Structure 1
Amino acid sequence: MNKSMRSKRKKKPTAMKSGGERSERKPSKQTAKKPSTPAASERAPKSKPKSNGITCREQQEPSKNEKKTSKGGSKEMWTGEETAKKMVASGFFNNNTISGTFKDLPTLKPPLDSCPCFKNNLQKVRAPDCPIPDDKLIKLTHAPDNFICASKVTVPEYNRTVILTQVPDVSNAQNIEDFWRMIFQENVASVVIAVMPLESSVTLQQIFPLLNGTYSNHGKMFLNNKKVESAVAVTSYTLEILPDGCSNSLFTTVYHLHNWRQKRGLEQVGDLVNTLEKVLKTNEVTFNVNLGLPDILFFQNTVFMSMNGTGRAGTMLALFTAMAQVQKGKEVNPKETMEKLRAERCGVVDNAEQYGTVHKAMAVWFKNKSNSEEIQKIA
């Protein structure tokens, strides 16, 4: 082969493209055209997220568990398939068992002498009958004396942080600033809110910007709405969160379930199931750092919020816990699971109707994930 032919076969090196610039404190036209984070705006759907040499494997190819269909068009085997079948066979969805289990659940509260911070801030608490021990309260590193009615909960089979919190008292601007400071501090990727419009005279507009492309400042916390998506009973907001004096922003998705009445169960659970499944998927992301090096896990955390931070938030927590267990191939013992959760946060799940919502949602989730005839027969 002569030199001219060899030279033609040589590929021209491609120039490396530089990442987009970080967005400014106030959104501009340049920011909208070149999004600086993985939450790319709709104006630039083909832009790649800034990675600093780290490539997200989930963005390159779907995981084995996420492939919905095989070559023949049928569903791939779900990791929780066998566990789901065992739970159906054991009577998990039996109405008499469900109501009997709830009646037998303990309602013990922690002693007030273990909750001095909670006791001293009752004016900020929406559910004073559900005290939180000091060792479970979220403490702000920049202002440890600022009280937030939010508690960390240890979830079985889940090694990230889950936080239950009430809607902050919007009459005091400091409470809203502290709430977003907590979201940033705890590296929260997902916030799921279950409140009705104008419930207790609170609007979400008072807490964060609701329109795509708008922003707001709460004290020293800057919030920028990057994206809004709506379904029948849930609206999701992608927010950029940046504290004053900090160069690295956090992107958090806020899911608002807006048809769930206080002290009641949820009739239509489809959007709730889909939302919690998204939270399960996005809170553990695998990154391939460099070729030849092992993968690492980048953990992000979750907040469940309702007006009091116990009933509907606790119901979502119970459902989320059950889903996480099944995904790991572990059967759910409803009584044991609820006892553990109530030991972490008293008042979780207000009543039998909300407890029934957990089982109703689990039935819908099982049917969505499996083609098994016995699972599809769940009432």
Structure 2
Amino acid sequence: MERKTTKVMIWLSCLLVLLAGMATSATAKAGEIKIYVEGKLLQFEGQQPLIRNGTTLVPFRKTFETLGYKVEWNAEEKTASGTKTGIKIELTMGSQSAKVNGQGVKLSVPAQIINGSTMIPLRFVSESSGYFVSYNNASGTSIIEITKEDTVLEPYVVKGRVVNSEGTPIKGAWITIDNQLLYDSNLQAKTDDNGSYRIALPKAATTYMAYADFKTVYEGVEHSVELTADDNSPFAGNTGAIRNFTVKLNSSTGTGGSGEVLFYMMDLIHPLNPIAEPPDRDDVTITLEPVGTMMDGTVGGPKLVSKGSRNNNGYGVHNVPIGQYRVSAVYAPPGEEPQQMLVRIVTRGEDLPFAESIVAGFRSITSKIHVMELELKLNVVKPPNEEPGEWTWGDEDEEEEEWTW
């Protein structure tokens, strides 16, 4: 009997050891988190990263220093901060509000002290620093990759950024993920402060297309610009996708963001020779020099120098990015010297003076049609009692003469 009892006890002991080992192994595997920054595994001493309420928390000092920050800890106020060129991030222990360059940002999980270590939310800090974060748990181990360029596909996730032509993030752009199989089952999200978005896809066998719409108020007028993804191909949900967008204001597809500079010739009779053909608009070259901030937030830009052409909206220069411009015009018939023209903006109810150059913007006709209308005439000074052939151009040197009326 004692021998039997001893065997049972030994068997139970082995079973308990086996179960404990399995539990320890499962716990370690389930809780294992590997973080890579630009492909390099991040090694932590002491407290390891952990996931709390769906948010990955990581040690403060090691993470900030890896991302290039100078760190500071205020023990009295229990605040952790990181500073580098152009950005400062501040977190208060236990607070669900952080600051990025002085602006409040809500956190899903607060920074906190765990086992004596200051732990901060990894995704918030990384994305606020201009990095992309991807997460994969397919193998049972949480693999988190932090990169400057988002190139890692995540199953059943579509993500990306919206920026202007200078690479500045666009906040508040609407992203629409269109289910190509099921009607009226689209997914939507807005871009955050970094111009980033991330949308989880249902685990269904279907394909999607990504679209975006950017709305902004410029010079008191609301504008809407439809954006096309840099990669505009459909994608499967199970592979995931990265779809980035760039705001382009010179689109010729009617998607908004650009306007028409239309111009009219005011010299119905040639001012130098009444029997000659009047000035031809095809011989006019318009110069548009950007002034100040454009509609997409870019500043200035290259001059636009162009002749006119006709489209459905009228005769002029087409698909000009919305903004303010210094406008001038030159008249240059074939074989003749270029002559400066006088310009004025067409304003309903006002008879504005002509000038060699003016600063003007666009007015809205519809939500997608914006125009700048100009009137042009030759810069000619007509002396009294002179034959037409002896009149002079206003920009030529003239000899002082005494005129008798």
TM-score class, shorter: under 0.3
**Larger RCO: 1 or 2 (CA < 8 Å, sep 6+):** 1
Question: Which of the two has higher C-alpha Rg?
Answer: 2
Whose strand fraction is larger, Structure 1's or Structure 2's? 2
Length-normalised TM-score, structure 2:
0.20
Length-normalised TM-score, structure 1:
0.21
